[in-house]
Amino acid sequence: MTHYAAPLRDMQFVLLELAGLEQLARLPGCEDATPDTVEAILDEAARFAGEVLSPLNRSGDQEGVRLDGDVVTMPAGFAHAYQQFAGNGWNGIGCEADFGGQGMPKLVVAAVQEMWKSANVSFSLCPLLTTGAIEALTLCGSAELKAAFLPKMVSGEWTGTMNLTEPQAGSDLAAVRTRAEPQADGSFRVFGQKIFITYGEHDMTDNIVHLVLARTPNAPEGVKGLSLFIVPKFLVNPDGSLGARNDVRCVSVEHKLGIHASPTCVMAYGDGGGAVGYLCGEENQGLGYMFIMMNAARYAVGLEGVALAERAYQHALNYAKERVQGPEIGSRTGAKVTIIHHPDVRRMLMMMKSQTEAMRAVAYVTAAALDAARCHPDAGERKRSQAFAELMIPIVKGWSTEMAQDVSSLGVQVHGGMGFIEETGAAQHLRDARITTIYEGTTGIQANDLIGRKIARDGGATIRAVIGLMQGLDGQLAEQAGDDFAAIRRALSGGAQALSQAVDAIVATFASDARSASVGAVPMLKLFGIVAGGWQMARAALAAQRHLVTGEGEATFLQAKIVTARFYADHVLSQAGGLAYTVVNGAPGALALSEEQF
Q: Is 221 a catalytic residue?
A: no
Q: How far is the CB of 144 from its own copies (least distance, A)?
A: 35
Cα separation, 182 vs 399, whole angstroms: 43
| Residue number with CB closer to its own copies (355 or 518) | 518
Cα separation, 226 vs 218, whole angstroms: 11
Q: How far is the CB of 321 from its own copies (least distance, A)?
A: 7
Reduce the DSSP state of residue 553 to 3 states and report it. coil
DSSP secondary structure of 110-129? HHHHHHHHHH-HHHHHHHHH
Cα separation, 164 vs 228, whole angstroms: 10
Cβ-contact 245, 276 below 8 angstroms: no
Q: How far is the CB of 513 from its own copies (least distance, A)?
A: 9
| Residue number with CB closer to its own copies (172 or 282) | 172
Cα dist from 440 to 159, 165, 251, 338, whole Å: 19, 11, 23, 40
Reduce the DSSP state of residue 346 to 3 states and report it. helix
Cα dist from 259 to 198, 268, 308, 428, 437, whole Å: 10, 22, 12, 8, 14
Query: Active-site residue among 17, 135, 166, 440?
Result: 440
Centroid of chain to Cα 53: 18
Cβ neighbours, 10 Å, residue 49: 25
Residues 6+ apart with CB under 8 A from 314: 2, 4, 5, 7
In this structure, the dihedral spanned by the alpha carbons of residues 92, 50, 404 and 91, taken in order and rounded to 10 degrees, is: -10
Cβ-contact 216, 180 below 8 angstroms: yes
Phi, psi of 338 (to 5 degrees): -70, 150
Cα separation, 458 vs 451, whole angstroms: 10
Q: How far is the CB of 298 from its own copies (least distance, A)?
A: 15
Cα separation, 404 vs 122, whole angstroms: 16
| Residue number with CB closer to its own copies (29 or 170) | 170
| Residue number with CB closer to its own copies (37 or 574) | 574
| Residue number with CB closer to its own copies (346 or 384) | 346
Q: How far is the CB of 227 from its own copies (least distance, A)?
A: 20
Q: How far is the CB of 164 from its own copies (least distance, A)?
A: 11
Centroid of chain to Cα 169: 23
Partner residues linked to 73 by β-bridges: 66
Q: How far is the CB of 454 from its own copies (least distance, A)?
A: 16
Q: How far is the CB of 173 from its own copies (least distance, A)?
A: 10
| Residue number with CB closer to its own copies (170 or 472) | 170
| Residue number with CB closer to its own copies (177 or 321) | 321
Reduce the DSSP state of residue 210 to 3 states and report it. strand
Nearest Cα residue to 139 out of 102, 95, 86:
95
Gyration radius from the chain CA atoms: 24
Q: How far is the CB of 377 from its own copies (least distance, A)?
A: 41
Q: What is the DSSP letter of 64?
A: -
| Residue number with CB closer to its own copies (247 or 484) | 484
Cα separation, 392 vs 373, whole angstroms: 13
| Residue number with CB closer to its own copies (174 or 549) | 174
The separation between the first and the last C-alpha atoms of the chain, rounded to the nearest angstrom, is: 44
| Residues marked as catalytic | 440
